[in-house]
Structure 1
Amino acid sequence: MSSAGVGAAVPAATWVLLRGLAREARHWGDFGNALAAQLGPAHRVLALDLPGNGVRHGETSPATVAAIAAAGRADLARRGIGPPYVLVALSLGAMVALQWCDAASEELAGCVLLNTSLRGISPFWQRLQPRNYLPLAALLRPATPVEQREARLLELTSSQPEQHAAVLARWAAIARQYPVAPRNAMRQLLAAARYRPPVRAPALPLLVLASQGDTLVSPQCSQRLAARWQAPLALHPWAGHDLPLDDPDWVLREIARWWRGPR
């Protein structure tokens, strides 16, 4: 990577934020606005809802990552939002981003992959750490109260859930307004479990970010991915799986360093 940063040749782009399992655009909180302010007016930032989540919660979630990625691309095309895109993607969203790279790399100027895991690169017990199997299964039961489910998800994805009372209230409100059907959550989980990334690294700039405090997905998954594809890697010392929630400023700094180069 040159000292000018990978974005030196990209004067303007649409930055697309992609969330993980059963999450939607509003789970990014204020991160999109902060990223837009950092990038400046030449760049657009939007968070995308994928089928089964958010405003698309009434749709059936595809059971493959390829179909999820195709749906995201089709949504942007339908809205008249064209490339180049830069994808900022967390967990399952990062798998969607990699499939997008494989299917249409010409549309992309770069990808930032956060706390993801990939079949064929990491073992299943690191992709989803065993301590989480039973809690996640319990959360998929339709009878689980919204507040209880969202509180448990916050505990699973943040290293400091006690600091996020306001976030928990927002998440519960989101879940009541646009509930994700358990069947759709299971289909997304199946898509993530089955997805295999391309053998070759995408022919575009990548940045891999991971949290050493992630107790849901082992940070070794991101480390292996970065090593295999010789991509730059930054490790956060304490954040949980939801890195943009626990320390958004750190994520913004790492993106700026990658995109613009050292300042």
Structure 2
Amino acid sequence: MTLNQSLENPPAPGNQVCKTAAALIIGDEILSGRTADTNLNTIARFLAALGIDLLEARTVGDREDQIIDALNALRHAHDYVFTTGGIGPTHDDITADCVARAFGLGIEEHPEALAILERRYGDELNAARRRMARIPDGGVLIANPVTDAPGFQVDNVFVMAGVPKIMTAMLEDVAPRLRTGAVVHARTLRVTGVGEGAVAATLSEAAKASRDLSFGSYPFGAGTQGEIGTNLVVRGRDAAAVEAAIAALSERLTAEGVAVALQPA
């Protein structure tokens, strides 16, 4: 299953056990504000389409102890961990070494990874580029169809590039390795003319009545001269239950004189 296939053709609901995931975004450039991270959004959408719940995300700098501590915490708490950044050819690309230390593994040049780089660079394969062939012992390569230099998987940890185009392409090789679950369905009511405080009590009552669903409020227009309102979102793995809840919420708010519009699914 490719990334586009996973987003366009999610798995059918079934009796799959729900899997959870975490993302670890690595790089001083993210924390400094020099680079805007978009990988987290891509990973979240990718996993949602597969019925895997992304429950946690952390961002750390290029500091060994910080990476190792975060990785160990996340890999023990979730079924899958996805890291981005720190697997390039420069001195501050230390993710592979940190993963090896976290798992208590050795690290050396992976024959297949080295062969890939030799084909890519030929006589220009210098010592810096060879660093990208260093993989923790037992690691399984993740294909990189953009620049060839592979990522890798160790146990439940998937280590990918930080460049968004490359990371997204790597997800296509990751998708078939994951156990999927029932997809989360979502419907949205757009409330206009009032702030979210005006509908908070009604939303809270709806949430109490359907505890197996998730109810969220996402305001817009506050403090501006334009339209004010909030988007009320109902999420759940039972599509029929989501539809019933959003219909009941819409009916209740309309009866209270609140302007609502059900958004396209």
Pick the TM interval, shorter chain: 0.3 to 0.5
- Could you state the TM-score of these two structures normalised by the residue count of structure 2? 0.36
- Could you state the TM-score of these two structures normalised by the residue count of structure 1? 0.36
Greater helix fraction, Structure 1 or Structure 2: 1
Could you say which structure has the larger radius of gyration?
2
Greater strand fraction, Structure 1 or Structure 2: 2
- Larger relative contact order (C-alpha < 8 A, sep ≥ 6)? 1
